[in-house]
Chain A
Amino acid sequence: MEAKYMEETTGLAFAEFNQIFHAITSGICVIDKDYNVLLVNKAYSNLVGISEHESEGKKCYETFNNEICRTPDCPMKRILDGEKHIEHEIEIRRDDGIRICCAMTAVPFHSSDREFVGIVEDFRDITRYSRIKKGKIRAQTALAIAKTSAETIRSIMDAVVIAMVVTDLEGRIIRFNRGFTETFGWDEQVIKELPTKFISRADAPKVMKGMSECIRNGYVRNLECSATTEDGREITVLIDFTLMRNSRGEPKGMIGVMRDITERKRAEEARERLSHELLDKNKELEQVVYVASHDLRSPLVNIQGFSKELERAFEQLRSVIHREDTPSSIREELALLLEEDIPEAFRYIYTSTSKMDSLLSGLLRLSRMGRLTLAIKELDMNNLISNVIATFEFQAKQAGATLYVDELPSCRGDEAQINQVFSNLLDNALKYLDPERAGIIRISGWKGAKQQALESPRTRGSDKLFSKKLVWLYSPELFRYSLGNGK
């Protein structure tokens, strides 16, 4: 610009104006309304990295590179539109890559005759300020996130019903949840305390050891401890500790979860007690049955024995009476007694005592059932049955019965017990044969889907009534059935 023009407009020596202009620390840029750069000062050149010569005379958007050029935010445009004072934060992008944050102010300036000439832009380097501000924003954001996370964590912790605590690496409680207060009754009092504040003295070492283990291995599980609630109740809790790490993976604390198992323990103890009571009661009953059936056997021996003695005596009497020298009138008088009444009495006494005997045997065996161990294996039924038959050969012959045995399939069971069952069956079969008919006993078997061997004796009375069909199952029920001696 011509010095003369400057002298006329400012009223100062041009040199003085120049000094002032270039001394200003903000970058000043004067642009006319055609976007030509009229004047720039030293500070401006330093800021944008472009010398005066390069800037002056050129279009402002050519040399000055920033994001608001050619946008509606362009200060010239805005001032042309009528704004009087623009303030904007902009980032100057220099050619050498350096970016500078500036606070820009722009105002219009007029000629003396109030004609609009252009604008004056003022640039203040606020990089450092901006950086601090950005840092502050970052910090504020981080804090906000942290706060939300803390909130989130707290909400989650409170939503969980189980008692939870967060401790530091020494085990002191930093945080607790609602579940904790509901379980233990404690709240603020536990902060900065060790869990041993409410854990029983006996279990405190267990907890401390557990926490060390947690720090060593990352977790510890199922520490069963006694604890005292705030209102003095004793409860049992199961505690888990898990190590908590920071973002760098370093241990920074522990999370403790405590489950109240008092109820469960109580139930378990009650069940144990009941279980024992049951076993004891069972044993007691077994004993009673054993003793009773045993004690009943003794008199039974006498009844049987002496009735047989009676029978003997009777036989003797009978033979005396049947002697030839006995008057026939006496023989006639006594006939009914001798031939019918007395023998009949003996028969009934005998069968009844036999029945009592087998019932007692059954009872005795029942009382020992608990102790008896069953050895279940695959049994060769042919072999087993032939053994049983062998012991009854004599009896069968005496009873005039014929035994038929078919080919028998094998089955699973306890040899001794099965032997006993068939012995009992055969015994009964032979005892209750109808004297009118020749007895036929047939033992046969077939393998069904879980059914096995059975026996059908022809016995006294109608076949339907007494012929039995026994269904065997591959299960212990089998043996319980056998205790009824086949009846």
Chain B
Amino acid sequence: MIVIAEDDPGHASLVIKNLRRSGIGNEIVHFKDGQETLDFLFQRGEGLHRSEGTPYLLLLDIRMPRVDGVEVLRQIKQDKELRKIPTIMVTTTDDPREVDVCYRLGCSVYITKPVDYDKFVDAIRRLGLLLMIVEVPKIGEKPV
């Protein structure tokens, strides 16, 4: 399952559309801020909860209200199980210091959203291809 954390619904829509176009058939769930995302992953609160034994992939935007992407990344990477989730930072920021921080915290990949739509589509398509071949670990499954 692909988890997308993105506060701008327009961006989210674009990403999802293009993921689908590049052949991704997985379930996609979208949250509009860091808090919702964390609640889902840590199985807290009233909304959706992550289910055990499911592999997840996280697409994180950095600029989000309430809790931002970097903070989500930090919290995930501190959890023994959740840190296994491959995290892809997708964001408009290309500040090298931000990039550095994210890699330090342990994100797998950092992608900047170019405004140039063709490039953007291209990037998402490649991401899709990547996702198709990537081995995503299951989270929370008790080892047999």
Question: Which residues in A have some Cβ–Cβ distance to B below 8 Å?
Answer: 294, 297-302, 304-309, 353-354, 356-357, 360, 368
**Is B46 an interface residue when CB atoms closer than 8 A count as contact?**
no
Known contacts A353-B115, A357-B115: does B95 contact A301 (CB below 8 Å)?
Answer: no
Which bracket fits the contact residues of B? 10 to 19
Would A305 and B92 count as touching, CB distance under 8 A? no
By a beta-carbon cutoff of 8 Å, the part of chain B in contact with chain A is 8, 10-11, 14, 17, 63, 92-93, 95, 113-118, 120-121
Residue of A300, A306, A309 touching B115 (CB-CB under 8 A)? A300
> Nearest Cβ distance between residue B110 and chain A, in whole angstroms?
16
Min distance, Cβ A370 to any Cβ of chain B, angstroms: 13
Among candidates A301, A306, A309, A368, residue contacting B92 with C-beta atoms closer than 8 Å: A301
A residues less than 8 Å from B63 (CB atoms): 294, 298
B116 near A309 (CB under 8 angstroms)? no
User: What 10 A-B pairs have minimum CB-CB distances, sorted nearest first?
Assistant: A302-B10, A357-B115, A308-B117, A305-B14, A304-B117, A297-B92, A300-B115, A305-B117, A304-B115, A301-B115
Report the minimum CB–CB distance from A91 to chain B (whole Å).
102
Q: Which of A301, A307, A309, A360 contacts B11 (CB 8 A)?
A: A301
| Contact A368 B95, beta carbon cutoff 8 Å | yes
A residues less than 8 Å from B116 (CB atoms): 304, 354, 357
Measured in the bound complex, the distance between the Cα atoms of B8 and A402 in whole Å is: 41
Name B14's contact: one of A301, A357, A360 (CB within 8 Å): A301
26 contacts across the A-B interface (CB closer than 8 A): A294-B63, A294-B92, A294-B93, A297-B115, A298-B63, A298-B92, A299-B10, A300-B115, A301-B10, A301-B113, A301-B115, A301-B120, A302-B11, A302-B14, A304-B120, A305-B117, A305-B120, A306-B14, A308-B121, A309-B17, A354-B115, A354-B116, A356-B115, A357-B114, A357-B116, A368-B95
Complex interface: chain A residues within 8 A of B118 (CB): 308
The CA-CA distance from A298 to B120 in the complex, in Å, is 13
Q: Shortest distance in angstroms between B32's beta carbon and chain A's nearest beta carbon? A: 14
Please name all residues of chain A whose beta carbon is closer than 8 Å to the beta carbon of B10 when the two chains form the complex: 299, 301-302, 305-306
What is the CB-to-nearest-CB distance from B39 to chain A, in angstroms, rounded to a whole number? 24
B19 to A: closest C-beta gap in Å: 13
Cα A307 to Cα B118 with chains together (Å): 11
Query: Closest residue to A353 on the B side, CB-wise?
Result: B115
What chain A residues lie within 8 Å of B114 (beta carbons)? 357
In the complex, what distance in Å separates the CA atom of A360 from the CA atom of B63? Answer: 17
For B96, give the chain A residue with the smallest CB separation. A368
Residue of A nearest to B93 (CB): A294
Q: Are B117 and A298 in contact (CB under 8 A)?
A: no
Contacts of A360 in B (CB 8 A): 115
For the complex, what is the distance from the CA of A304 to the CA of B92, rounded to whole Å?
14
Q: Which residues of B contact A306 (CB under 8 A)?
A: 10, 14
Compute how far the CA of A309 lies from the CA of B114 in the bound complex, rounded to whole angstroms. 16
Expressed in whole angstroms, the minimum distance between the Cβ of A294 and any Cβ of chain B is 7
**Least Cβ distance of B114 to chain A in Å?**
8
| Cα-based distance from A298 to B10 in the complex (angstroms) | 9
What residues of B have a CB within 8 angstroms of the CB of A300 in the complex? 115
Q: Beyond A300-B115, A353-B115, A357-B116, is A305–B11 a contact (Cβ under 8 Å)?
A: yes
